[in-house]
């Protein structure tokens, strides 16, 4: 297995060396990536490494970008079984009376969680946010408490929420770095992308009224690599945007806060993405679809060894003009039969320049049944003959 990993790393590094100069933009170019905004942040999605930052820890309002955390708790609730996309949610008075951007929910009507989540992602519906918050936590106040707890768990020390919509409150704020961390966490849910790419769609109410939804994230039309984002605007916050774009194996997350105009936020995000794609690469060092060429041992099985593979792909992020030193450490668990396909049987620790950057589970690529008396007899006879 060590030989296989060394071979994979060597191939990756050879490709990196061959492509390290092409398209490289000097670091000086990063000094003017944004236009008329108060703060900005650009990070690699897979590693969370910062590529570019500007006033990234400054406390400021983020308007509807706050809904990144609202959506996170919705998808968390679905993942935990507390909510399903098919669940019906009855709209209360608080939700139906919300101002600002809304989908015009009527008190007492029932909507599916799927409909409400979609309206939050596509058209930033405040009323849907409140309806979802009351369904998940019992009240918006309790939901906001969970938002702040989640922010703390993610390490967002410069964020305080006071509502689930982002409507102006003096007591709430965040910063560009924390927004990037929160948005990156939301993007782990593949279901998010089923909604984020929608440009125009009719929202059909239970009474057959329709409300037209247009995506507030114009970047999905302006920039072909963008496939998700959350906008925000108030007079206090200015024009804000958290967005993501993917090119090849590299997914980036960008945040722009306090831009002077709507175009400024979108153009600033594009410049940051272009800088990131030109100057940085993700090299794949483990492929989940490739069975490793050395097998793991198993105790008490019909077979003495079995094939294994990485549980997921592993990428190493670095500047395009650099060739990091990639090393690894394999941890082989003591495995007893029976073994099932996809059972976790070990780990691979990946190091970049001596620093641990990822740990990937190793899983069984085949089933191994428990040995019976006949298996032990044949094995003993074989060993005796040898």
For the stretch 172-184, pLDDT in tens is: 999 999 999 999 9
Rounded to an integer, the average pLDDT of 320-343 is: 93
Tokens of residue 208, six digits: 């057959």
What is the location of CATH 2.60.410.10 in the chain? 2-16+287-385
pLDDT given for residue 4 in this prediction: 45
pLDDT given for residue 35 in this prediction: 87
pLDDT given for residue 13 in this prediction: 41
Task: Say which range, 38-47, 63-72, 376-385, has the weakest mean pLDDT.
Answer: 376-385
What percentage of the chain has pLDDT greater than the value 70? 88
Rounded to an integer, the average pLDDT of 220-242 is: 97
Is pLDDT above 60 for 69? yes
Rounded to an integer, the average pLDDT of 249-266 is: 97
Per-residue pLDDT of 147-160, as tens digits, reads: 999 999 999 999 99
pLDDT given for residue 9 in this prediction: 45
Task: Say which range, 11-20, 179-188, 220-229, has the weakest mean pLDDT.
Answer: 11-20
Is pLDDT above 60 for 104? yes
Q: Name the CATH superfamily, with its identifier, for domain 33-282.
A: DD-peptidase/beta-lactamase superfamily (3.40.710.10)
pLDDT range class, residue 373, cuts 50, 70, 90: low
pLDDT range class, residue 20, cuts 50, 70, 90: very low
pLDDT given for residue 184 in this prediction: 98
- Residue owning tokens 């003959």: 385
**Structural class in CATH, domain 2-16+287-385:** mainly beta
pLDDT given for residue 291 in this prediction: 93
What is the location of CATH 3.40.710.10 in the chain? 33-282
Per-residue pLDDT of 75-92, as tens digits, reads: 999 999 999 999 999 999
More confident residue, 230 or 170: 230
Task: State the number of CA atoms in the 13 A half-sphere of 217 facing the CB.
Answer: 32
pLDDT given for residue 377 in this prediction: 56
pLDDT given for residue 292 in this prediction: 86
3-state secondary structure the chain: CHHHHHHHHHHHHHHHHHHCCCCCCCHHHHHHCCCCCCEEEEEECCCCCEEEEECCCCCECCHHHHHHHHHHHHHHHHHCCCCCCCCEEECCHHHHCCCCCCCCCCCCCEEEHHHHHHHHHHHCCHHHHHHHHHHHHCCHHHHHHHHHHHHHHCCCCCCECCCCCCCCCCCCEECHHHHHHHHHHHCCCCCHHHHHCCCEEEEECCCCCEEEEECCCCHHHHCCCEEEEEEEEECCCEEEEEEEEEECCEEEEEEEEEECCHHHHHHHHHHHHHHHHHHEEEEEEECCCCCCCCCEECECECCCEECEEECCCEEEEEECCCCCCEEEEEEECCCECCECCCCEEEEEEEEECCEEEEEEEEEECCCECECCHHHHHHHHHHHHHC
Tokens of residue 195, six digits: 């909604």
pLDDT given for residue 383 in this prediction: 59
């Amino acid at each position: 297995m060590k030989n296989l990993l060394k071979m994979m790393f060597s191939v990756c590094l050879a490709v990196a060396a061959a492509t390290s100069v092409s398209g490289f933009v000097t670091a000086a170019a990063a000094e003017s990536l944004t236009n008329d905004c108060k703060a900005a942040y650009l990070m690699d999605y897979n590693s969370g490494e910062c590529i570019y930052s500007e006033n990234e820890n400054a406390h400021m309002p983020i308007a509807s970008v706050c809904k990144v955390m609202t959506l996170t708790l919705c998808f968390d609730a679905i993942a935990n079984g507390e909510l399903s996309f098919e669940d019906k949610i009855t709209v209360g008075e608080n939700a139906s009376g919300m101002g600002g951007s809304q989908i015009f929910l009527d008190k007492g009507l029932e909507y599916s969680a799927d409909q409400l989540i979609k309206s939050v992602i596509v058209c930033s519906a405040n009323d849907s946010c409140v309806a979802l918050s009351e369904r998940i936590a019992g009240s918006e106040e309790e939901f906001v408490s969970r938002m702040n707890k989640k922010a703390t768990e993610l390490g967002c020390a410069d964020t305080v929420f006071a509502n689930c919509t982002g409507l102006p409150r003096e007591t709430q704020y965040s910063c560009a770095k924390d927004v990037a961390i929160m948005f990156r966490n939301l993007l782990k849910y593949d279901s998010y992308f089923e909604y984020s790419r929608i440009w125009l769609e009719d929202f059909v109410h239970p009474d057959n009224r329709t409300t037209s939804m247009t995506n507030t994230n114009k970047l999905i039309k302006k920039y072909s690599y963008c496939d998700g984002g959350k906008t925000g605007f108030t007079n206090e916050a200015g024009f804000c945007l958290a967005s993501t774009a993917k090119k090849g194996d590299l997914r980036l997350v960008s945040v722009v806060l306090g831009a002077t105009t709507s175009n400024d936020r979108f153009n600033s995000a594009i410049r940051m993405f272009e800088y990131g794609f030109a100057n940085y690469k993700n090299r794949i060092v483990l492929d989940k679809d490739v069975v490793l060429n050395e097998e793991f041992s198993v105790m008490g099985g019909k077979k003495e060894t079995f094939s294994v593979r990485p549980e997921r792909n592993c990428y190493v992020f670095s500047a395009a003009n650099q060739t990091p030193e990639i090393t690894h450490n394999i941890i082989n668990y003591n495995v007893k039969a029976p073994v099932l396909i996809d059972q976790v049987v070990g780990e691979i620790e990946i190091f970049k320049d001596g620093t641990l950057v990822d740990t990937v589970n190793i899983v069984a690529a085949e089933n191994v049944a428990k040995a019976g008396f006949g298996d032990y007899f044949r094995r003993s006879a074989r060993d005796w003959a040898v």
